[in-house]
Amino acid sequence: MFWLEIITLAKLIIILTLKVLATSNPVRFDIKVLKKMEIHQKLKFWFQLEGRDLPWRHTKDPYLIWLSEVILQQTRVEQGLPYYWKFSERFPTVQDLAKANDDEVFRLWQGLGYYSRAKSLLKTAREIERSHQGIFPANYDALISLPGIGPYTAAAVASFAFNKAHPVLDGNVKRVVSRCIKLAEGIESKKANSVMHEWLNQNMDHNNPADFNQSIMELGALICTPRKPMCMRCPIQVHCLANQEGEEEKYPIKKAKTSKQVLHLAFAFAQNENQLLIQKRKPHGIWANLWELPSRITQEFPVISDLEMDFPGVSNKDYTAVKLPSHLLSHREIRAQVFVFHYSGPASEGQKWIAKSEIENHGFPRILTRYFETSLP
Ligand code: SF4
């Protein structure tokens, strides 16, 4: 413990030295001051030196902060960054997003997965336009009452944009806290949630919650990683119980994973010359509101006769069957087959004929865009 503390102090001295050299600020070193530093101060020093330079960290605009948070849910920063630029350029304000065409938003979202997020993005923007005159609410209670904004996002926007003292509790922060206190509860339980909130509230700088939240999230993303955390580079190593007992990877404690439900789907690639029949999905369930090829859920792996109800006589036609790679969603695995055949009948309700060149103007689920990319000229 003694040596650990010496090492941590040495690391902080180096960080402080670099900081002073960088700013030529005449700060006097005092070992007693460093030793007395609180968790939030250590985190802030580390963050100033090692935190990533990301565009949403240079703004206090609640809309842009919210946009980045929605994009980054279940998405790595490198993958989300181009989407942040696309959305913030095309829809620079929440009013612009509220007026957007649904299909355009789904199309821009294409490739990011979890389309319910795009849907909820639109819903929230329209509610802000409708009931807050297009102005983002500035406090946690008003934020969390909006559709599509949960406790994590409300705390992130309230603290980053308005400097309100609400701790954020995303997956990265949960990992750091659960390791620091060796949290014996399953990470998703209510009790675990309140214990972690309490720890964060006790250790947060209430005058500067934005920096505290940013730095502990960043620590979870860069240092306190799920596997092989880099504890020797961690600014709060001396405060971490799991590290003291070499049990970092035991935490957080998670519930055993349940196996994913398998969904079998038959897709009809019904074409007539250069035309393709597509249909809009329902406004709820997976891929809500996206476009798709006419489809049927099947009991087992699909065969052509599964499409007989929608395309009578299809089993006797010439067709090609293309098995798609298994596709994983958060709770489901999709096993699908596309049947390609000629069809010249009318479009049913909710369907339409489009030129194949228009495919890219429509938002499709990733499983189909991948198929189009590999199968169409
Ligand atoms: S010491 Fe290691 S396990 Fe503990 S918070 Fe730091 S990085 Fe995470």
Which tens digit of pLDDT belongs to each residue from 166-199? 999 999 999 999 999 999 988 889 999 999 999 9
Distance 180 CA to ligand 1 centre (A): 7
Residues 235 and 355 in one domain: no
Least confident of 174-183, 256-265, 324-333: 256-265
Residue 10 has pLDDT above 80, yes or no: no
In a domain, 242, yes or no: yes
Q: Which domain holds residue 28?
A: 2-37
Q: What is the mean pLDDT of residues 21-31?
A: 43
Q: Give 288: exposed, middle or buried? Use CB within 10 Å, 0-12, 13-18, 19+.
A: middle
Residues 243 and 361 in one domain: no
Residues 117 and 87 in one domain: yes
Sequential DSSP letters for 248-297: GGG-S--PPPPPPEEEEEEEEEEEETTEEEEEEPPSSSTTTT-EE--EEE
Pocket test for ligand 1, best of 47, 228, 231, 238 (most atoms within 8 A of CB): 231
Residue of higher predicted confidence among 51 and 35: 51
Q: Residue 168: which residues within 8 A CB-CB, separation 6 or more?
A: 152, 155, 156, 159, 213, 216, 217
In a domain, 136, yes or no: yes
- Can you tell me the distance from the alpha carbon of 174 to that of 224, in angstroms, rounded to the nearest whole number? 10
Report the candidate in 191, 200, 176, 151 with the shortest Cα–Cα distance to residue 252: 176
pLDDT of residue 213: 97
Strand, coil or helix: 56? helix
In a domain, 279, yes or no: yes
Number of the ligand 1 atom closest to the C-alpha atom of 231: 2
Contact between 40 and 205 (Cβ < 8 Å): yes
- % pLDDT > 90, the chain: 73
Contact between 151 and 190 (Cβ < 8 Å): no
In a domain, 166, yes or no: yes
In a domain, 159, yes or no: yes
- Can you tell me the distance from the alpha carbon of 213 to that of 206, in angstroms, rounded to the nearest whole number? 11
Residues 89 and 201 in one domain: yes
Residue 113 has pLDDT above 80, yes or no: no
Counting Cα atoms < 13 Å in the Cβ hemisphere of 51 gives 21
Least confident of 29-33, 128-132, 210-214: 29-33
Question: Which one of 250, 273, 295 terminates a domain?
Answer: 250
Contact between 315 and 305 (Cβ < 8 Å): yes
C-alpha dihedral sign at 184, 188, 191, 197? positive
Q: What is the mean pLDDT of residues 153-163?
A: 96
Pocket test for ligand 1, best of 8, 12, 50, 223 (most atoms within 8 A of CB): 223
In a domain, 146, yes or no: yes
pLDDT tens digits along 297-307: 998 889 999 99
Contact between 224 and 179 (Cβ < 8 Å): yes
Catalytic residue (one of 69, 129, 248, 292): 69
What one-letter code names the amino acid at 264?
A: H
Number of the ligand 1 atom closest to the C-alpha atom of 248: 3
Residues 286 and 236 in one domain: no
Report which protein residue has its CA nearest ligand 1's atom 8: 224
Dihedral Cα 314, 317, 320, 326, nearest 10 deg:
20
Residues 205 and 293 in one domain: no
Q: Residue 167 sits in a domain of what CATH number?
A: 1.10.340.30
Question: Which band of pLDDT confidence, cut at 50, 70 and 90, is reported for residue 259?
Answer: confident
Both structure tokens of 195 = 């214990």
Residue of higher predicted confidence among 116 and 377: 116
Contact between 354 and 278 (Cβ < 8 Å): yes
Residue 16 has pLDDT above 60, yes or no: no
In a domain, 187, yes or no: yes
How many independent structural domains does the chain possess?
A: 3
Q: Which residue has the tokens 């919650």?
A: 209
Q: What is the Cα Rg of the chain in Å? A: 26
Residues 32 and 159 in one domain: no
Residue 43 DSSP one-character state: H
Both structure tokens of 367 = 């499983």
- % pLDDT > 70, the chain: 89
Distance 53 CA to ligand 1 centre (A): 22
pLDDT of residue 264: 95
Strand, coil or helix: 78? helix
Residue list, ligand 1 pocket, CB within 6 Å = 176, 179-180, 223-224, 229, 231, 234, 236-237, 240, 242-243, 248
pTM of the model: 0.69
Write b or e for each residue in 102-119: b if 16 or more Cβ atoms lie within 10 A of its Cβ, otherwise e.
eeebbbbbbebbbbbbbb
pLDDT of residue 328: 87
Report which protein residue has its CA nearest ligand 1's atom 4: 240
Q: Residue 225: which residues within 8 A CB-CB, separation 6 or more?
A: none
Distance 190 CA to ligand 1 centre (A): 23
User: For residue 3, what is the enclosing H or E element?
Assistant: helix 2-23
Whether 69 is catalytic is: yes
Sequential DSSP letters for 57-69: GG---HHHHHHHH
In a domain, 255, yes or no: no
